[in-house]
Amino acid sequence: MTQSEKKHIKQLQQKKYRNLYGSFVVEGLKSIRDFLAAGYIPEKIYSTVPFEQMKNQDLPVEIISEKNLRQISFLKNPKDALAIIKIPKSLSLPQSGWIIALDNLQDPGNLGTIIRTADWFGIKNIVCSLDTVDCYNPKVVQATMGSLANVSVFYTDLSNFLSKSRLPIFGACMQGKNIYQSLFPHQGILVVGNEGNGISNHIKGLITNKITIPKHQKSTADSLNAAIATTIFVSKIMREIN
């Protein structure tokens, strides 16, 4: 591989270059295959081991040394392969089913975990505010463990999206109705806020149902991690409606 290729891959750590080139990085054979199986288009695949061709696909694979992989990988302990994948064209915003809405979520690990949670429980759409961390950030992609291939993530003016939606809007709040005493419809939106500040005030005004996870009486914790809280909410909702 050339120095130009190495430079290009390193540039994709930054959002401005991901937007410029319309591509992002996926690491690990399993995750790469997940994206290919979901119909994502590879720009180039670099692998240290023979890469089995997918059915009816002529893949742009280059076998490289482990040394070269270490030079291009974003991981401390690189896996067996790295791929540059094209960012798919944006689809229309979802209007039905259960949707997770994220208001200014900032931690890549949290977003990655939430995407993985959505995939596990069968939620296909996540709508993010424009200031939420980029889902193609390498740390987010890695944290999803391939689940980003199965979940559509949208970025939009969240208040505008919520105000136009006909779905009931549930907000994950510190003060609200006990989730275990709540009934959930077959369609709706679950809003999760920023890790430190929660849901912003202008979004709170659009929430039709404030819900909370009750804290144990002996607990001294101030709050739950955003991704963990989302998992608890989604588990309760999907178990109830399925």
In this chain, the answer to whether the domains covering 3-86 and 98-241 adopt an identical fold is no
pLDDT for residue 184 is more than 70: yes
Q: What residues does each domain of the chain span?
A: 3-86, 98-241
- For 98-241, the fitting CATH number among 3.40.1190.20, 3.40.1280.10, 3.30.465.10, 3.40.50.2300 is 3.40.1280.10
pLDDT number for residue 53: 60
DSSP bridge partners of 61: 45
Question: Residues 59-77: what's their mean pLDDT?
Answer: 93
Give the tens place of pLDDT for each residue, 12-39.
999 999 999 999 999 999 999 999 999 9
**Confidence bin at 57 (pLDDT 50/70/90):** low
pLDDT for residue 138 is more than 70: yes
pLDDT for residue 107 is more than 90: yes
Domain 3-86 has CATH 3.50.50.60: no
pTM of the shown model: 0.93
Distance, CA of 213 to CA of 223 (rounded, Å):
10
Burial class (CB in 10 A: 0-12, 13-18, 19+), 149: buried
pLDDT number for residue 54: 53
